[in-house]
Chain A
Amino acid sequence: SQQGEEDPQALSIQEGENATMNCSYKTSINNLQWYRQNSGRGLVHLILIRSNEREKHSGRLRVTLDTSKKSSSLLITASRAADTASYFCAETDSWGKLQFGAGTQVVVTP
């Protein structure tokens, strides 16, 4: 069963704009990870934020984590057409098992 929920389900923006998507989860986490998926096939790991961290940066990506609200956000700055993809957050248990949300579909138009 799906654990987290992403919001919005879909996002359409123009190149250069920022894209923000949110994720809510239900259980206590060891960490939370964000993945990107192109064309419905393999997923690519973007960033991992540990439960004792509040914010993390990686290139144009910024992730925040609020454990009191059980929520996380992913910000993509200065988006590019190549950022068009589905983005998933995933809770991680102690075994490393990922529990994904339904994802946010992002379309970046030139």
Chain B
Amino acid sequence: GAGVSQTPSNKVTEKGKYVELRCDPISGHTALYWYRQSLGQGPEFLIYFQGTGAADDSGLPNDRFFAVRPEGSVSTLKIQRTERGDSAVYLCASSLYPSEGYNEQFFGPGTRLTVL
């Protein structure tokens, strides 16, 4: 079956604009994660969904960042009033269920966000 997909693959926006990044997880995967990766760094956790609810949003940097997963499948990461420091690759991952962390995560190709 299809893997995790993310759209758009690249997004260029101006400072202060609003952006939405979309993630389509693998069908049947109940757990969905968002990460952000800056150049030369490892991915940093942003938020985790179990089903429709955000079980852990401790990685969101501030209240300009928000994510939803209304039907427990597709998720959208929303960034308001973008800043140049938001430029990064945003990665989405899904897994069957976290179950004490034993399940591997399947990553999408990422969305490269550039804020001018």
Tell me the A residues contacting B by CB distance below 8 Å.
1-2, 30-31, 33, 35, 40-45, 48, 50, 88, 90, 92-103
Q: Are the CB atoms of A43 and B91 closer together than 8 Å?
A: yes
Query: Known contacts A41-B109, A43-B107, A98-B105; is A30 also within 8 Å of B45 by CB?
Result: no
Can you list, as one digit per residue, whether each of B81-116 has a CB less than 8 Å from chain A (1) or not (0)? 000000001010101001111111111111000000
Known: A99-B45, A102-B42. A42 touches B101 (CB 8 A): no
Interface residues on B, range: 20 to 34
Residue B40 lies at the interface, judged by CB distance under 8 Å to chain A: yes
Kindly list chain B residues whose C-beta atoms are within 8 Å of the C-beta of A48.
102, 104
Alpha-carbon distance between A50 and B105 when the two chains are bound, in angstroms: 15
List, in ascending order, chain B residues with CB within 8 A of A101's CB: 42
Binary contact readout B8-43 vs A (1 if CB under 8 angstroms, 0 otherwise): 000000000000000000000001010101011111
Residue on A nearest B3 in the bound complex, by CB: A42
A42 and B109 contact, CB distance less than 8 A: yes
Cα separation A1 to B41 with both chains bound (whole Å)? 10
